[in-house]
Amino acid sequence: MKLPLRVLVLEDDDGTRRSLCVLLRRRGADPVAVGTVADARNLIASERFDVFLFDERLGDGSGIALLEELRAQGQNQHAIVLSGLEATAIAELVNPCIDAKAVLARKPLEPERLESLLTAAYLHKVLPNAIADRVDRLSFSHQQKRVLAGVVRGDTVNEIAAELGVQPSTVRDHVAAIRARFNASSMRDLVRVVLFSEDPHTDQGNRPA
């Protein structure tokens, strides 16, 4: 699936920056790459991007800090933050990324993971009305429909939980039940069934309790 997205890549390591651009182009994206926060600010001021792909630690600042600044200015593009930290250390970035409305991903970024992230960004950009229409026709409870709409948009579990005013564990339970109803082997499979099949299951039988 080609994903025609304009992506601003902010990465201060030359090799990593080139590799990310190669991966993005292979998936139909149009990457524009810079190595400093200052250069990123200048581009954002004059050009439009669909996705921000920022390194977390940079020579002249932080990708998360830049995102917080952009959110305060009303920039709502889909955002991905990359970090090379180990699992124990990267956990400390989860809440800051949630606050900056960004998806956190570890380096090195595998092609399959990048495709999943870009698919979520594509849905966030061009399919909000299609998501609402397709999900509304499914025979799930109102809360499950809202959870499913969030999943298809590419929202995180914590973002969906905050929107619904429930615990993340409740969202995970709903997601597990929905996947079971669709026989979806993965989240990507679930998204494809809901959005791209000719007739997603509009009659699911009795709604779960």
Q: In the structure encoding, which two tokens stand for residue 76, read together?
A: 């709502």
Least confident of 29-43, 88-102, 145-159, 193-207: 193-207
Establish how many alpha carbons lie within 13 A of residue 149's alpha carbon, considering only the half-sphere containing its beta carbon: 21
Provide the whole-model pTM: 0.62
Check if the beta carbon of residue 171 is closer than 8 Å to that of residue 162.
no
Give bridge partners of residue 53 from the DSSP assignment: 9, 80
Pairing of strands 57-58, 61-62: antiparallel
- The C-alpha atoms of residue 78 and residue 51 are separated, in whole angstroms, by 5
> What proportion of the chain, given as a percentage, has pLDDT over 90?
37
Please tell me which residue, 51 or 136, carries the higher pLDDT value: 51
Q: What domains are there in the chain, each with its CATH number? A: 6-126 (3.40.50.2300), 128-196 (1.10.10.10)
With tokens 């039940």, the residue in question is 177
Q: Which of 80-84, 90-94, 128-132, 150-154 has the lowest mean pLDDT?
A: 128-132
Q: Inform me whether the pLDDT recorded for 208 exceeds 60.
A: no
96 in Cβ contact with 64 (< 8 Å):
yes
**pLDDT, average across residues 178-201:** 74
pLDDT in tens, 42-79: 999 999 999 999 999 999 999 999 999 999 998 888 89
- Is residue 205 within 8 A of residue 139, CB to CB? The reply is yes
Facing residues of 7 across strands? Answer: 31, 51
pLDDT tens across 139-151, in order? 788 888 888 878 8
Q: What's the rounded mean pLDDT across residues 159-174?
A: 88
